[in-house]
Amino acid sequence: MKLNQSVQAWVVAITSGLFFFYMVIQWTMFNALSSALMIHFSVSSSAISRLSAVYFYVNIICLFPAGMLLDRFSTYRVVLIAMAVAIVGTVGTLYVDTLAGAEWCRVLVGAAGSFCLVSVVRLVSRWFPARSLALVIGVVVMLAMMGGVVAQTPFTLLTDACGWRAAIYADVVLGLVITALIAMFVRDRPSRPIEGVLCHPASLPFLKAIRLTVTNRQNWFAGLYTSFMNLPVMVFSFWGSFYLIQSWHMSRLASSWIDTCLLLGAIVGSPALGWVSDRLGKRRLPMMVSAVVLGCLTVLLYVAHALSMPALAVIFGAIGFFSSAQVMGYPLIAESNPSDLIATAEGFSSILIMAGGLSQQVFGYLLDHVGSHVVEHHITHYSNVSYHAALLMFPVACVLSWLVAFLAKEGFATNT
């Protein structure tokens, strides 16, 4: 059955967004699996956080090349190859007995993940007019954050009931289903040009593409803003359960529910704030306001011990909601670059964005070196002093977010 072109555009966006959804599961599932993996590999929490961070190290290295490949080759084919590599890396985790072996598997997954968001933005910029980019990308990010929800409570329940291997097997099956859907529905570009859609002339020479991308200050500002605003979600994707269990004395299941509230906030906020930005015809104003509100919310974590669990759930949900203002960075990049450089520019800025994933290591370093901690049954328990020192990262990141948004130029629909 032949679909209406506007309907097909949304089918392409949602189906390609499943790739992003799957990769979010890959870097957030350690929140549910970390305790089991510590016991399996007989390592500390710092070692497991290093295993989680391998994804981001490799991801950062591969992002710029990924963008350049997507500007030069079929996005459809590149996405299918990347999904296959991610699934192979995930399967490999089931058959290794050492932490080093698991890290090599994460190398494959991290390399595949470097294509996920850049490929979606590349496709969306071909199928939708620039005036709708923030909303569409917001919907895609909302879908991706649902991957984080799947990796929290459902993975925790599955791991507790059937073991961590069962959770990995389920993850592999899900990857195969998503690969089949992408093969069926994703197409590189519409059959007919769409009014207001960014045009795509022949690719620029390699060195010129690099020079134009790196020297464009907007790419730096948008990438840094997105990275700083995404910091709470990045950090709590690994450390959220540890923080809530050790500082709040919650059960693993209760902590996974609170972490889920963070992701639910991002799920609602991503399309909502994208829609607000498109309706206002502005990027910078909602970006700056969201940075201020998020900064105030993260400060509440220092006094939240006097609040009830439902109140904490609301705070986490609100943090997730306003951190999703980071979605406005992606259309800002698309609107601030030549149309045949969009994937390359998104790849470059994503290096800055995904560098925020290294904040997991910084958070762990602060926990290890500030305050006190003890090790029981291979799990490190940290004091509230340690957590308060590490949480200081969040308000600092919000101040920096506001600053780079202030310095950026308005980019709304300038590239139509």
Q: Is residue 211 part of a domain?
A: no
> Do 83 and 19 meet the contact criterion of CB atoms below 8 Å apart?
yes
Q: Is residue 207 part of a domain?
A: no
Q: Which two tokens stand for residue 260?
A: 């889920």
Residue 197, pLDDT above cutoff 60: no
Residue 390, pLDDT above cutoff 50: yes
Q: Quick one: CA dihedral 247, 42, 231, 163, positive or negative?
A: negative
CA 282 to chain centre: 23
CA–CA dist 59, 351 (Å, integer): 8
Q: Is residue 388 part of a domain?
A: yes
> Do 174 and 50 meet the contact criterion of CB atoms below 8 Å apart?
no
Q: Which two tokens stand for residue 81?
A: 């190859």
Amino acid at position 308, single letter: S
CA–CA dist 358, 356 (Å, integer): 5
How many CB atoms neighbour CB 403 within 10 A? Answer: 16
Q: Which residue has the higher pLDDT, 350 or 375?
A: 350
Q: Is residue 143 part of a domain?
A: yes
What is the average per-residue pLDDT within 122-133?
82
CA–CA dist 2, 273 (Å, integer): 32
What whole-number percentage of the chain has pLDDT above 70?
91
> Which of 20-29, 172-181, 236-245 has the lowest average pLDDT?
236-245
Q: Is residue 412 part of a domain?
A: no
CA–CA dist 250, 243 (Å, integer): 9
pLDDT digits (tens, 9 = 90+) for 145-158: 888 778 877 888 88
Four-point Cα dihedral 167, 168, 171, 176, nearest 10: -140
Strand-pairing partners, residue 361, are: none
Residue 340, pLDDT above cutoff 80: no
Residues in CB range of 216: below 8 A, 6 or more apart: 336, 337, 345
CATH of the domain at 111: 1.20.1250.20
376 pLDDT band, cuts 50/70/90, is low
pLDDT digits (tens, 9 = 90+) for 263-301: 889 889 988 998 898 888 888 999 999 999 999 999 888
Q: Which two tokens stand for residue 182?
A: 């992408």
Parallel, antiparallel, or unpaired for β 373-376 and 379-382?
A: antiparallel
> Do 198 and 126 meet the contact criterion of CB atoms below 8 Å apart?
yes
Range of the domain at 21: 5-188+216-407
Task: Quote the DSSP letter at residue 189.
Answer: S
196 backbone φψ class: left, alpha, beta (φ>0; ψ -120 to 50): left
How many domains is the chain partitioned into structurally?
A: 1
Residue 403, pLDDT above cutoff 90: yes
Residues in CB range of 110: below 8 A, 6 or more apart: 54, 55, 56, 57, 58, 59, 62
pLDDT at 201: 46
Residues in CB range of 73: below 8 A, 6 or more apart: none
pLDDT at 406: 94
Q: Is residue 344 part of a domain?
A: yes
Residue 180, pLDDT above cutoff 90: yes
What is the average per-residue pLDDT within 375-385?
71
Q: Is residue 308 part of a domain?
A: yes
Q: Is residue 255 part of a domain?
A: yes
Q: pTM of the entire structure?
A: 0.75
Task: Quote the DSSP letter at residue 376.
Answer: E
> Which residue's structure tokens are 């190290």?
57
pLDDT at 385: 82
